[in-house]
C-alpha cells in the first residue's frame, strides 16, 4: 500500500506529487492514458518516476485554467501508479496510469516546480447489505440497457461489468465508462464516500441518460426518414430536368401549338363567357408540362371550345318558290307536310327568327321522314346534321359528362354541332320515340331544354360548362309513333303526320324518284331503261309489304344492279370503252358521272357513246326473271269462304295490316282460350264477343246453353304484334261463324270494338287500316259508324276501290260478313250503311238502304 499506517486511529498521510487533470477524472481500478504537456505536470511525473511511481491524479475545477492554484483544484482524487511513460518528439509526454485508491488532498507543500501534496486515503462505507445487493443488480441491468442505446460502449466492458460483484469496483468501472456524463458529475461520483449513495447516483444518471438517448434515437430515425424523402425528391427533380432538357424540341412544339390555338381563337366570335374561360385555361396550360396528363385534359377542353361553330353560319335562302321547288324535286306527295314547311319558312323570312315550334314528323318506317328533313336543309340553304336518339338512355349522352370524370367528352348534341360546323344548321333529332329512360337519368329532360325556343339560347353542356346559343339551329324531330314520345316533349312540338303510301302513290314514287335515282347509282345513266308501270306494280305487290317505300327502293335497286350486270355481260366491251371514267367496273355506283355531254368529252367518245346507247325495257315478266320468285302472295285473302276465319284490320308503328282471326269449336265445358301474340285488352274483347253471341243465340239458331258443352279456341296466327282493343267485331264474327257453321266472306275485312250488347264502338288508325285493306285486295270493309268522320283522311284512290260499310251494331256486321243466302231471315232489315262512291258521305246521315254492291254475290248456300 502507498500509505504507511503507524497508528490505529489516525489515517496515515503521504506526500505525493500531484498531477492536475483538465477534463478527466481517474477512478480507482481504472487504467487511463493521459497526454501531459504542461511543464509543472511533466515535472510532477518526473518526480514520481524518480520515487515509487506513485502520483495523485486530481481534476481541476475549470478545465480551461492553464496554471491552476491549489484552490482551483478539487480535494478528492485518486492515487495511482504510472504504468508506462513515453516522451514524445514535441516534448509532451504520453503516460499510462492505473488508479489505486481514493484520497483527499490535505495540504499543498511548498515546492519549486510541481505540486507536492500531502494526501489522506479515503475509506469507503455502506458497501454491505441487501439494499446494496439490489442496487448492484439494477445498476448492472440498467448499464446493459444503456450500452445497447449507446454504441460507444465496447461489448467487453458490458461483459466485465456483469461479472463484478464488488459494489465499489462496480460503480467505479461504470462511472469510468459512461462517455456522456459531465466532469462535475464524475467528480461527484468519485468524491461520494458512501458506496450506496454512489450506486444510487449512478443509477439516476444512467436512467436520465437512457431517456435522453431514447428521445435522441427517435429524433434520429425521424430525421433520417425526412432526409431520405427529400433526397429522393431532389434526385428525381434533377432527373426530370435532365429529361426536359433532352426533350427541348417538344417544348417548342407545345409553344407552337398554343400559338395556333390563339390564332384560331382570333377567327372565332366566342361569347364573352367562353372567351374568359378559354383565356383562363390557356394560362393554366402555358404553365404545364407538355406531356403531362393534366395538359392533355386542358388542351382537349380548349380544342372542343375552339372547334365549335362560333358565329360561323351559312347564308339562308328565303326564296319560297325555290324552296318549294326543291321540296317537290326530292319528294312525291306529302302535300300537308310541304305546305307546313313553306309556311314555316315564310314566317321565318318575315320575322327573321326561328320562333315557331319545332316540327315533328310522325309516321311508319320508310315514308320519307328523314329524307324530307334533309330536303328542308337543302331548301333553306342550311347544313344538315342528324343525331339518332334511338337507344339513348342517359342524360349524359345528350349533355356530356362533367370534366372531372376521366375521359369526359361533350354530349352528342355538341358533338353533332361541331360536325355541322355552322351555327344555323338543320338539326334532325331522329327517332325521338326510341329513347329510353333508366336509372341513369332521363335523356328527354335534356331535350326539353333544347327544344324550347325560350330556353335554348343558353344550352349548358356538362363538359363545356358554359352556355351555348342554339336559337339559330332549326330542330326537326322524327318518330314512328306518338306514343313513344314523352308528353312534355310532345307538347313542345308541332306534330306532322305522314301516313302509309297507297299503291298508286308508291307507283308514282317509284317511277319518278326511285327508278331514276337507283339507275344513276348503278351507273346506267347512258342506258335507256324503261321500267313499265306493270313491272313496278308487280314489284310493289309481290316483293314488298310495307307502309313506306324503303324495301321498294331496295328491290328497284336490285333490279337495276341485275340489269347493270346484264349490260356489262352483253355489251361490256363497247360500253365500257365508251365511258369516260373507264375501268372494268362499269356497274359500280361511282361508275358514271351524271349526264355528261357527248361533245364535252370529244367527238370520238361522243360518237362511241351514241353507238353504244342501249335500250332495255323491263316489263312484268322481266321482273320475275330478275328478282326471282315472289316474296309475298298477291292477295292475302283466301279465294274461298271459310268457317271461323275472319279478316280483321290492325295498325301498328309499321302501318296498317290485315289481322286474321280463327275460331274453332270443340266439345268441352264452356272454356274460352285465346292464343297468338296478343296485346292487353284482347282477352276482355273476346269475353265481350262471346257474351254478345250468347245473348243472340236464339237469333243465330243456337241452343240457349250451347256454351256449356263447347270449348272455344280463338287464335291469331300472325306473329306480328297487334294493337289493342279493335278486334272485337272480328272475334265475334269468327265465333258466330264457327258456332253456326256459316262461312265468313273472304273478301271482307272489318275493324271495330263491341259492347256486351253488341254495339260497335269506334277505333283509331282508320286511314292506315283502309290503306292496308286496299293493298290486300279486300273489296268490302266494315267500319264503325262513329268513324265516318275519319273517312275524309283516307286517300280518294283508296276509297274508290273499297266498298265501305258503316255499322252501329254487331247484327249488321254478321249480316254483311256471313255468307248467307237469305240474310233477312236472321236479321230482318238491320243493315249497315254502304258507302260506295268516291266522295265521303256528308254527315250527319245518308239513306241506309243502299243495296249490296253485287246481289249475285249473296247467292250462296246456307249451311
Sites of contact with Mg ion (CB under 5 A) = 370
Q: Which residues contact 95 (CB under 8 A, 6 or more apart)?
A: 33, 34, 35, 36, 45, 82, 84, 85, 86
Cα–Cα distance, 857 to 821 (Å, whole number): 9
DSSP state at residue 513: I
Question: Within positions 86 to 125, which residues make up the interface with ligand ATP, using CB under 6 A?
Answer: none
Should residue 509 be labelled a site residue for ligand ATP when binding is judged by CB under 6 A? yes
The residues that bridge with 479 in the sheet, in sequence order, are: 362
Question: Within positions 292 to 311, which residues make up the interface with ligand ATP, using CB under 6 A?
Answer: none
Q: Which residues contact 505 (CB under 8 A, 6 or more apart)?
A: 332, 333, 795, 797
Should residue 655 be labelled a site residue for ligand ATP when binding is judged by CB under 6 A? no
Q: Which residues contact 204 (CB under 8 A, 6 or more apart)?
A: none
Helix (H, G, I), strand (E, B) or coil at 615: strand
Choose among ligand ATP, Mg ion, none what residue 526 binds, the Cβ cut-off being 5 to 8 Å by kind.
none
Choose among Mg ion, ligand ATP, none what residue 513 binds, the Cβ cut-off being 5 to 8 Å by kind.
ligand ATP
Should residue 386 be labelled a site residue for ligand ATP when binding is judged by CB under 6 A? no
Should residue 367 be labelled a site residue for ligand ATP when binding is judged by CB under 6 A? yes
Are residues 740 and 817 in contact, defined by beta-carbon separation less than 8 angstroms?
Answer: no
Choose among Mg ion, ligand ATP, none what residue 371 binds, the Cβ cut-off being 5 to 8 Å by kind.
ligand ATP
- Shortest approach of Mg ion to residue 548 CB, angstroms? 9
Choose among ligand ATP, Mg ion, none what residue 550 binds, the Cβ cut-off being 5 to 8 Å by kind.
ligand ATP
Nearer to ligand ATP (CB atom), residue 554 or residue 694: 554
- Shortest approach of ligand ATP to residue 513 CB, angstroms? 4
- Shortest approach of ligand ATP to residue 478 CB, angstroms? 6
Nearer to Mg ion (CB atom), residue 432 or residue 749: 432
Q: Phi-psi bin for 706: left (phi > 0), alpha (psi -120 to 50), beta?
A: alpha
Should residue 340 be labelled a site residue for ligand ATP when binding is judged by CB under 6 A? no
Are residues 667 and 741 in contact, defined by beta-carbon separation less than 8 angstroms?
Answer: no
Are residues 465 and 402 in contact, defined by beta-carbon separation less than 8 angstroms?
Answer: yes
Stretch that binds ligand ATP, among 257-265, 286-294, 368-376, 788-796 (CB under 6 A): 368-376
Choose among Mg ion, ligand ATP, none what residue 547 binds, the Cβ cut-off being 5 to 8 Å by kind.
none
Cα–Cα distance, 130 to 538 (Å, whole number): 129
The DSSP annotation for 337-371 comes to: HHHHHHHHHHHHHHHSS--SPEEEEE-STTSSHHH
Should residue 654 be labelled a site residue for ligand ATP when binding is judged by CB under 6 A? no
The DSSP annotation for 572-602 comes to: HHHHHHHSSS-SS-TTSTTSS-SS--TGGG-
Should residue 776 be labelled a site residue for ligand ATP when binding is judged by CB under 6 A? no
Helix (H, G, I), strand (E, B) or coil at 455: coil
DSSP state at residue 540: H
- Of the candidates 259, 292, 281, the one whose C-alpha atom is nearest the C-alpha of residue 403 is 281
- Of the candidates 421, 413, 399, the one whose C-alpha atom is nearest the C-alpha of residue 477 is 413
Choose among ligand ATP, Mg ion, none what residue 68 binds, the Cβ cut-off being 5 to 8 Å by kind.
none
Should residue 198 be labelled a site residue for ligand ATP when binding is judged by CB under 6 A? no
- Residues binding ligand ATP: number (CB under 6 A): 19
769 is catalytic: yes
- Shortest approach of Mg ion to residue 536 CB, angstroms? 23
Stretch that binds ligand ATP, among 362-370, 413-421, 451-459, 855-863 (CB under 6 A): 362-370
Interface pick for ligand ATP out of 114, 332, 427, 468 (rule CB under 6 A): 332
The residues that bridge with 20 in the sheet, in sequence order, are: 58
Stretch that binds ligand ATP, among 12-20, 365-373, 625-633, 668-676 (CB under 6 A): 365-373
Instruction: Write the burial class of residue 253 (CB in 10 Å: 0-12 exposed, 13-18 middle, 19+ buried).
Output: exposed
Radius of gyration of the chain (CA): 57
- Shortest approach of ligand ATP to residue 494 CB, angstroms? 17
Question: Within positions 551 to 570, which residues make up the interface with ligand ATP, using CB under 6 A?
Answer: 553
- Shortest approach of ligand ATP to residue 602 CB, angstroms? 36
Nearer to ligand ATP (CB atom), residue 401 or residue 412: 412
Q: Which residues contact 648 (CB under 8 A, 6 or more apart)?
A: 658, 659, 660, 661, 726, 727, 729, 730, 749, 750, 751
Cα–Cα distance, 770 to 775 (Å, whole number): 8
Are residues 75 and 104 in contact, defined by beta-carbon separation less than 8 angstroms?
Answer: yes
Interface pick for ligand ATP out of 369, 403, 545, 785 (rule CB under 6 A): 369
Choose among Mg ion, ligand ATP, none what residue 366 binds, the Cβ cut-off being 5 to 8 Å by kind.
ligand ATP
Strand order in the sheet with 493-497: 384-388, 426-430, 474-479, 358-362, 493-497
The angle subtended at Cα 523 by Cα 547 and Cα 625, nearest 5°, is: 60
- Shortest approach of ligand ATP to residue 436 CB, angstroms? 17
Should residue 707 be labelled a site residue for ligand ATP when binding is judged by CB under 6 A? no
- Shortest approach of ligand ATP to residue 550 CB, angstroms? 5
Should residue 370 be labelled a site residue for ligand ATP when binding is judged by CB under 6 A? yes
To 10 degrees, what angle do helices 550-578 and 603-612 make? 130
726 is catalytic: yes
Phi and psi at residue 525, to the nearest 5°? -55, -40
Choose among ligand ATP, Mg ion, none what residue 365 binds, the Cβ cut-off being 5 to 8 Å by kind.
ligand ATP
Choose among ligand ATP, Mg ion, none what residue 544 binds, the Cβ cut-off being 5 to 8 Å by kind.
none
Are residues 420 and 308 in contact, defined by beta-carbon separation less than 8 angstroms?
Answer: no
- Shortest approach of ligand ATP to residue 374 CB, angstroms? 8
Residue 445, Cβ neighbours under 10 Å: how many? 15
- Shortest approach of ligand ATP to residue 480 CB, angstroms? 5
Should residue 331 be labelled a site residue for ligand ATP when binding is judged by CB under 6 A? yes
Residue nearest to ligand ATP (CB): 368
Interface pick for ligand ATP out of 550, 554, 694, 777 (rule CB under 6 A): 550
Active-site residue identified among 40, 268, 383, 769 = 769
Choose among Mg ion, ligand ATP, none what residue 553 binds, the Cβ cut-off being 5 to 8 Å by kind.
ligand ATP
Nearer to Mg ion (CB atom), residue 363 or residue 648: 363
Stretch that binds ligand ATP, among 217-225, 363-371, 432-440, 555-563 (CB under 6 A): 363-371
Should residue 368 be labelled a site residue for ligand ATP when binding is judged by CB under 6 A? yes
Should residue 333 be labelled a site residue for ligand ATP when binding is judged by CB under 6 A? yes
Nearer to ligand ATP (CB atom), residue 418 or residue 550: 550
Nearer to ligand ATP (CB atom), residue 723 or residue 816: 723
Torsion of CA 342, 343, 348, 349, to 10 degrees: 70
Nearer to ligand ATP (CB atom), residue 332 or residue 692: 332
Cα–Cα distance, 557 to 560 (Å, whole number): 5
Interface pick for ligand ATP out of 513, 575, 654, 716 (rule CB under 6 A): 513
The angle subtended at Cα 247 by Cα 244 and Cα 253, nearest 5°, is: 115
Question: Within positions 425 to 484, which residues make up the interface with ligand ATP, using CB under 6 A?
Answer: 478, 480
Residue nearest to Mg ion (CB): 370
Active-site residue identified among 726, 734, 737, 767 = 726
Q: Which residues contact 638 (CB under 8 A, 6 or more apart)?
A: 645, 746
426-430 and 672-675 strand pairing:
unpaired
Nearer to ligand ATP (CB atom), residue 45 or residue 507: 507
The residues that bridge with 476 in the sheet, in sequence order, are: 359, 428
The angle subtended at Cα 490 by Cα 449 and Cα 371, nearest 5°, is: 95
Nearer to ligand ATP (CB atom), residue 509 or residue 665: 509
Give the residue numbers marked as catalytic: 726, 769
Q: Which residues bind ligand ATP (CB under 6 A)?
A: 331-334, 365-371, 478, 480, 509, 513, 548-550, 553
Amino acid at each position: 500500500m502507498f500509505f504507511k499506517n503507524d497508528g490505529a486511529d489516525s489515517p496515515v498521510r503521504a506526500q505525493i506529487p500531484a498531477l492536475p487533470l483538465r477534463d478527466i477524472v481517474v477512478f480507482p481500478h481504472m487504467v487511463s492514458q493521459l497526454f501531459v504537456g504542461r511543464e509543472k505536470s511533466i515535472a510532477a511525473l518526473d518526480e514520481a518516476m524518480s520515487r515509487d511511481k506513485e502520483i495523485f491524479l486530481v481534476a481541476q475545477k475549470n478545465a480551461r485554467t492553464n496554471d491552476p492554484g491549489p484552490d482551483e483544484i478539487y480535494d478528492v482524487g485518486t492515487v495511482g501508479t504510472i504504468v508506462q511513460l513515453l516522451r514524445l518528439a514535441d516534448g509532451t509526454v504520453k503516460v499510462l496510469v492505473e488508479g489505486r485508491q481514493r484520497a483527499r488532498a490535505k495540504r499543498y507543500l511548498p515546492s519549486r516546480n510541481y505540486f507536492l501534496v500531502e494526501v489522506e486515503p479515503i475509506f469507503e462505507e455502506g458497501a454491505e447489505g441487501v439494499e446494496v445487493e439490489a442496487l448492484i443488480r439494477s445498476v448492472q441491468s440498467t448499464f446493459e440497457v444503456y450500452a445497447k442505446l449507446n454504441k460507444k460502449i465496447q461489448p467487453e466492458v458490458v461483459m466485465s461489468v456483469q461479472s463484478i460483484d464488488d459494489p465499489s469496483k462496480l460503480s467505479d468501472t461504470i462511472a469510468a465508462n459512461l462517455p456522456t456524463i459531465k466532469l462535475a458529475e464524475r467528480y461527484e461520483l468519485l468524491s461520494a464516500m458512501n458506496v450506496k449513495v454512489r450506486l444510487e447516483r449512478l443509477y439516476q444518471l444512467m436512467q436520465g441518460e437512457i431517456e435522453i438517448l431514447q428521445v435522441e434515437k427517435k429524433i434520429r430515425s425521424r430525421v433520417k426518414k425526412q432526409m431520405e424523402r427529400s433526397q429522393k425528391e431532389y434526385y428525381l427533380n434533377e432527373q426530370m430536368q435532365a429529361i426536359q432538357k433532352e426533350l427541348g424540341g417538344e417544348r417548342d412544339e407545345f409553344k407552337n401549338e398554343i400559338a395556333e390555338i390563339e390564332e384560331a381563337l382570333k377567327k372565332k366570335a366566342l361569347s364573352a363567357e367562353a372567351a374568359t374561360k378559354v383565356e383562363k385555361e390557356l394560362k393554366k396550360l402555358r404553365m404545364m408540362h407538355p406531356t403531362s396528363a393534366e395538359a392533355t385534359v386542358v388542351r382537349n377542353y380548349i380544342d372542343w371550345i375552339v372547334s365549335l361553330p362560333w358565329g360561323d353560319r351559312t347564308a339562308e335562302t328565303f326564296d319560297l318558290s325555290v324552296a318549294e321547288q326543291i321540296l317537290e324535286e326530292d319528294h312525291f306527295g306529302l302535300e300537308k307536310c310541304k305546305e307546313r314547311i313553306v309556311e314555316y319558312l315564310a314566317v321565318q323570312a318575315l320575322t327573321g327568327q326561328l320562333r315557331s315550334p319545332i316540327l315533328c314528323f310522325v309516321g311508319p318506317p320508310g315514308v320519307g321522314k328523314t329524307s324530307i328533313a334533309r330536303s328542308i336543309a337543302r331548301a333553306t340553304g342550311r347544313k344538315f346534321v342528324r343525331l339518332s336518339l334511338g337507344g339513348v338512355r342517359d342524360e349524359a349522352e345528350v349533355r356530356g359528362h362533367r370534366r372531372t370524370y376521366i375521359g369526359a367528352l361533350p354530349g352528342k348534341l355538341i358533338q353533332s354541332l361541331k360536325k355541322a360546323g355552322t351555327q344555323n344548321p338543320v338539326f334532325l333529332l331522329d327517332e325521338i320515340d326510341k329513347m329510353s329512360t333508366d336509372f341513369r337519368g332521363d335523356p328527354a329532360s335534356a331535350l326539353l331544354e333544347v327544344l324550347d325556343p325560350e330556353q335554348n339560347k343558353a344550352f349548358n353542356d356538362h363538359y363545356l360548362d358554359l352556355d351555348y346559343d342554339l336559337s339559330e339551329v332549326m330542330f326537326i324531330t322524327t318518330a314512328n309513333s306518338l306514343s313513344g314520345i314523352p308528353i312534355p316533349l310532345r307538347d313542345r312540338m308541332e306534330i306532322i303526320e305522314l301516313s302509309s303510301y297507297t299503291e298508286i302513290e308508291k307507283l308514282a314514287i317509284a317511277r319518278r324518284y326511285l327508278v331514276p335515282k337507283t339507275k344513276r347509282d348503278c351507273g346506267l345513266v347512258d342506258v335507256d331503261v324503261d321500267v313499265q308501270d306493270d313491272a313496278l306494280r308487280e314489284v310493289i305487290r309481290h316483293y314488298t309489304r310495307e307502309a313506306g317505300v324503303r324495301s321498294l327502293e331496295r328491290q328497284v335497286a336490285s333490279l337495276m344492279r341485275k340489269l347493270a350486270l346484264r349490260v356489262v355481260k352483253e355489251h361490256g366491251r363497247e360500253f365500257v370503252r365508251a365511258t369516260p371514267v373507264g375501268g372494268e367496273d362499269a356497274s359500280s355506283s361511282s361508275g358514271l358521272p351524271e349526264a355528261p355531254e357527248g361533245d364535252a368529252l370529244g367527238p370520238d367518245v361522243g360518237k362511241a357513246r351514241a353507238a353504244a346507247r342501249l335500250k332495255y325495257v323491263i316489263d312484268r315478266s322481266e321482273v320475275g326473271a330478275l328478282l326471282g320468285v315472289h316474296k309475298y302472295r298477291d292477295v292475302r285473302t283466301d279465294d274461298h269462304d271459310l268457317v271461323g276465319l275472319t279478316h280483321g284490320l290492325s295498325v301498328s308503328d309499321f302501318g296498317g295490316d290485315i289481322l286474321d282471326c280463327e275460331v274453332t269449336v270443340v266439345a268441352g265445358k264452356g272454356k274460352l282460350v285465346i292464343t297468338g301474340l296478343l296485346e292487353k285488352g284482347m282477352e276482355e274483347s273476346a269475353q265481350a264477343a262471346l257474351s254478345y253471341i250468347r245473348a243472340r243465340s236464339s237469333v243465330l239458331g243456337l241452343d240457349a246453353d250451347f256454351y256449356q258443352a263447347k270449348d272455344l279456341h280463338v287464335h291469331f296466327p300472325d306473329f306480328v304484334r297487334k294493337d289493342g282493343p279493335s278486334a272485337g267485331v272480328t272475334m265475334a264474327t269468327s265465333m258466330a261463324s264457327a258456332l253456326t257453321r256459316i262461312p265468313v266472306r273472304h273478301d271482307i275485312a272489318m275493324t271495330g270494338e263491341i259492347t256486351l250488347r253488341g254495339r260497335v264502338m269506334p277505333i283509331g288508325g282508320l286511314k292506315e287500316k283502309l290503306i292496308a285493306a286496299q293493298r290486300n285486295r279486300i273489296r268490302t270493309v266494315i267500319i264503325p259508324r262513329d268513324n265516318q268522320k275519319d273517312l275524309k283522311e283516307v286517300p280518294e284512290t283508296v276509297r274508290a276501290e273499297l266498298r265501305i260499310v258503316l255499322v252501329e251494331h254487331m247484327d249488321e256486321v254478321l249480316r254483311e260478313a256471313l255468307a248467307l243466302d237469305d240474310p233477312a231471315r236472321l236479321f230482318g232489315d238491320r243493315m249497315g250503311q254502304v258507302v260506295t262512291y268516291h266522295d265521303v258521305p256528308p254527315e250527319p246521315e245518308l239513306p241506309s238502304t243502299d243495296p249490296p254492291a253485287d246481289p249475285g254475290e249473296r247467292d250462296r248456300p246456307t249451311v
